Structure 1
Amino acid sequence: MTTPSLQDGIEKAGSAVNLRWTAEPRFWTPPVVAPEYSGWRKEQAAWQSGVALMDLSYHMFDLFVSGPDATRMLGELTANNYENFAINQAKQLVVVNENGYLVGDAILLRRGEEDYVVTGRPTAQNWLTYHAGQRGYDVELSSDPDCSRDPQHIPPFFRYQIQGPFAQQLIEAAFGGPLPETKFFHATNVTLAGTTFRALRHGMAGQPGYEFIGDHADHATVKAALVAAGEQFGLELVGSLAYPTAQAEGGWVPAPIPAIYDDTPDQSAYRAWLPLHTPDGLQPLNGSFYSPDIADYYVTPYELDYGRSISFNHDFLGRDALQAMKDAPRRHKVTLVMDAEQVAKAVDLERGPVNTLAKQRVEIAGSLVGNTEYTAYNDPYGTMLSLALVSEESAKPGTEVEVVWGNHPGGDVAAEADLGFPRIRATVQPCPYNEFARSGYRQG
């Protein structure tokens, strides 16, 4: 691949943490989509109490995998089960390193017998591409990047999500009746306004809904038909400020640190192959939780509740290490609901909702019990929600904690230094926080 490589960047910076650490991070928002349509607060409310249209067409990275060895390759490089994996079914793809730690996750859609598309951030896709080349599988791989670097780039697909309590009514109005009965994370072909595309039963914020995926040439036609059908239900278009915040109540950690920084020959070779200018090299690392050891930011699939996606009925990279982790003590993913009055004093909402991957310290009585992974302000709840990983003893709903809200300067400043950051009281609650996401999201 191109130079400089990720390994070049690490060597120049002195360490992986030095490369990624910043006290002044830029907040990510999806490219191309307008920041707001009716206002981020109103748009947040739509997917919870009304109906919303989310445009996912421009920030996804696609890896296309086909050929005689496509299924074998995926089976040997990921922790998922490929038995009874039907065409037009999707999975939460789980990719780990040789030590069982998470490299990345993505959505895997099977489009044909030996035809797949991996969608999401490029982390898992890059790992699969590299190892496919190293192992010599008989596959064809091609990729399509997101539009973050080139807003004029035309993606192959449109992706629209219809979400919220009125999603089903809108869909029936648009299509002239209910769609064919479809299980969660399964797709069916549908036709609207003379165009045929996939309808994947899926949601972002844990609310009922569908993701429609089709030829990008038809994006305007399909969007116009959905918007027209949604007028009677108060459909809201969701802009790039509000969209990422859906993850906080839906319970998905969007960008865990990939476990690709170990001092091993295989990972060193991978980093020498991987360009520096990727999220794995340049995505900011920041927050009040600081460690000079990048491994302290690694996560396991079990900590992110991906256990249901893991299968040990086949051999795959990292299998034995991951199996040893299955019943070992671990941190637990929780939602932290922050004290609204203290949030109002600590954060500025004038520029839009909080949307941050900062790793903030989570403490009880001044002792570290975990760290945040993603935090967003959710106006319907009137406060910030944070997805955090905390010790088992701290994970019980109702536990009171404090979030240390600030950006450690990094470098030689002690990790435990008292830097005078504000502390925000928070209460541990289940994850996902959205009740439907916990109890009904995967039904059917």
Structure 2
Amino acid sequence: MDPEEIQASGDPVRVLREKGGDYTDNFPVVPNEITNWLDEQRAVTETCTLANLSHHMTSLRVTGPDAEELLRDLSVNSFESYEIGRAKQLVMCNPNGHIIGDGPMLRLGDEEFYSGGMLSANWVRYNLETGDYDATVETEPRTSAHEGDPENFIFQVQGPNARAVLEQVTDADLDSIPFYRFETIDLAGVETIALGHGMSTEFGFEFIGPFEQAEQVREAIVEAGDEHGLEQLGSKSYHTLSVKLGWVPPGVPPIYDVEAMSDYREWLGPDSREATYSIDGSFVSDEISEYYMDPIELGYEKLISFDHDFVGREALEAKVESPDRTLVSLAWDENDVVDVYASLFGDGETYKFMDLPRIAWGRANYDEVTKDGDLVGLSHSRSYEYDAGTIISLCSIDVDHAEPGTEVTITWGEEDSPNPKVERHAQTEIRATVGEVPYSPDRRKGE
């Protein structure tokens, strides 16, 4: 079903909630576990890890005289001081200021930009095709959506021992490359882009190079990491990193019941990212717009710049002036979490099964968060984190309740889920404590 058919149903919420789908933790090609997800997750903060991101994201390359103009017209970010060798987390919105997608974009040249993982790639292509820009947009879908290998490998090496490992595979001075800057280096004999970036809060780098030499680089890193406790990350463990870091996938695409997005809905196909979302969680609304999110409640307020015109600017100006919600982390009460599992082993109704380490990839998770019985926020992207000893989630919460230490309640389970993948269960409440974002200290910038 394509987005226009979902819109024509008259009830986009129902359609997106009832989607069953074959959801797994697995990204294309990369196994769920290389060793086991617990030891892999521990290695992120204790030793060192290697994550293979070559297969599960859509890459985007924008070139030509108007490449910068196209991206600037769509992005909330300032393009001042966006020189060659710098990357920015570009954030793009619809006309109402709701986020369509984001991703790191590297400026490779005066007229060339590249991203190995851009969630708004379709939006960029659409605006090029319907606009008046002298530019070219090339996208490469995730490996499962096309035949053959990707153009580039993308590896992330992070953890306390990352420096010691990388020193054995490159002579480059990685400490001289600041956060979100990049240089071309020799990595294990391969010309590779080294970007100061990663999805963990630990020091590390993302490396981008020709895929035909991926195995050469991977083997060299694994060999160098053998004495430093390196673990290769499977899909399950990698999928947990973004929660402590504080990155929330944009969620339901803000294209339904928005007249200005009707042409875009018609342009999209049934296999597009925008058409394949499923809604999960205890929050239920008849209004699809209640599931949309803006950059402010996803923690991107500092990236918004009004030094240029862009899609959604007017709406965001009002939101920034008086924000409703902001992004926090939630630490779930461990005893209440244990009760969820205990319900499987006693008489009476059971609670909704809680997959570990986190909700399956492909579902947009929305759980009600209340304070004294009043809805104050929505919890997203829950994940077990071993160093926290419990479940951590991210939450867009009313600014009046965002103070760390605030006690709130999460409604766990769905009263009447139309999704055949959700078993019959009873709802329950889980206590949680508001915390900062990122949940763990961010060591990526060397601070």
- TM-score normalised by length of structure 1: 0.91
* Superposed CA offset, 1:205-260 (max 9, x none): 21110001000011000001111111110101110111111111111002422222
Match of 1:329 among 314, 323, 344: 323
Match of 1:136 among 129, 132, 135: 132
Within a 5 Å distance, the mapping from 1:313-324 to structure 2 comes to 313-324=307-318
* Aligned residue type for 2:18: T
Match of residue 103 from structure 1 = 100
Match of residue 244 from structure 1 = 239
How many pairs were matched up?
A: 427
SS at match of 2:444: coil
Is 1:61 equivalent to 2:58 in the alignment?
yes
Give ranges in structure 2 of 5+ residues lacking alignment: 345-352, 419-424
Match of 1:44 among 23, 41, 44: 41
SS at match of 2:222: helix
State the alpha-carbon separation in 1 of the partners of residues 392 and 297 from structure 2.
Answer: 18
SS at match of 1:19: helix
Match of residue 269 from structure 1 = 263
Whether contact under 8 Å (1:333, 1:388) holds in the other structure is yes
Match of 2:277 among 277, 283, 289: 283
Match of residue 126 from structure 1 = 122
Is 1:80 equivalent to 2:77 in the alignment?
yes
Match of 2:435 among 405, 429, 440: 429
Q: CA deviation at 1:408?
A: 4.1
Match of 2:338 among 341, 344, 358: 344
State the alpha-carbon separation in 2 of the partners of residues 115 and 179 from structure 1.
Answer: 24
Whether contact under 8 Å (2:42, 2:386) holds in the other structure is yes
* Aligned residue type for 1:111: L
Match of residue 422 from structure 2 = none
Match of 2:224 among 221, 225, 229: 229
Whether contact under 8 Å (1:374, 1:386) holds in the other structure is yes
* Aligned residue type for 1:382: G
Match of 1:354 among 355, 358, 375: 358
Q: CA deviation at 1:5?
A: 3.5
Is 1:260 equivalent to 2:255 in the alignment?
yes
State the alpha-carbon separation in 2 of the partners of residues 178 and 70 from structure 1.
Answer: 31
Match of residue 441 from structure 1 = 444
Match of residue 347 from structure 2 = none
Q: CA deviation at 1:355?
A: 2.6
SS at match of 2:56: coil
* Aligned residue type for 2:65: P
State the alpha-carbon separation in 1 of the partners of residues 309 and 100 from structure 2.
Answer: 17
Match of residue 378 from structure 1 = 385
SS at match of 2:336: helix
State the alpha-carbon separation in 2 of the partners of residues 337 and 351 from structure 1.
Answer: 17
Match of residue 114 from structure 2 = 117
Is 1:146 equivalent to 2:149 in the alignment?
no
State the alpha-carbon separation in 1 of the partners of residues 311 and 109 from structure 2.
Answer: 24
Match of 1:217 among 212, 215, 220: 212
Q: Structure 1 225/361 Cα, relative in aligned 2: closer, same or farther at 3 Å? A: same
Within a 5 Å distance, the mapping from 1:163-202 to structure 2 comes to 163-176=158-171, 178-179=173-174, 181-202=176-197
SS at match of 2:168: helix
State the alpha-carbon separation in 1 of the partners of residues 288 and 355 from structure 2.
Answer: 31
Match of residue 16 from structure 1 = 12
* Superposed CA offset, 1:331-358 (max 9, x none): 1111110111221232599974223542
State the alpha-carbon separation in 2 of the partners of residues 62 and 187 from structure 1.
Answer: 17
State the alpha-carbon separation in 2 of the partners of residues 352 and 403 from structure 1.
Answer: 18
State the alpha-carbon separation in 1 of the partners of residues 97 and 355 from structure 2.
Answer: 40
Whether contact under 8 Å (1:19, 1:282) holds in the other structure is no
Whether contact under 8 Å (2:297, 2:397) holds in the other structure is no
Q: CA deviation at 1:160?
A: 0.6
Q: CA deviation at 1:410?
A: 5.4
* Superposed CA offset, 1:249-299 (max 9, x none): 1110024222222331x3111101111222212211011001111110111
Is 1:90 equivalent to 2:84 in the alignment?
no
Give ranges in structure 1 of 5+ residues lacking alignment: 412-418
Is 1:392 equivalent to 2:388 in the alignment?
no
State the alpha-carbon separation in 2 of the partners of residues 120 and 191 from structure 1.
Answer: 23
* Aligned residue type for 2:188: A
Whether contact under 8 Å (2:171, 2:186) holds in the other structure is no
State the alpha-carbon separation in 1 of the partners of residues 432 and 411 from structure 2.
Answer: 10
Whether contact under 8 Å (2:296, 2:323) holds in the other structure is no
SS at match of 2:438: coil
- TM-score normalised by length of structure 2: 0.90
Whether contact under 8 Å (2:405, 2:435) holds in the other structure is yes
State the alpha-carbon separation in 2 of the partners of residues 121 and 72 from structure 1.
Answer: 17
* Aligned residue type for 2:33: E
Q: CA deviation at 1:188?
A: 0.9
Is 1:402 equivalent to 2:405 in the alignment?
no
Q: CA deviation at 1:29?
A: 3.0
Q: Which moved more, 1:60-69 or 1:165-174?
A: 165-174
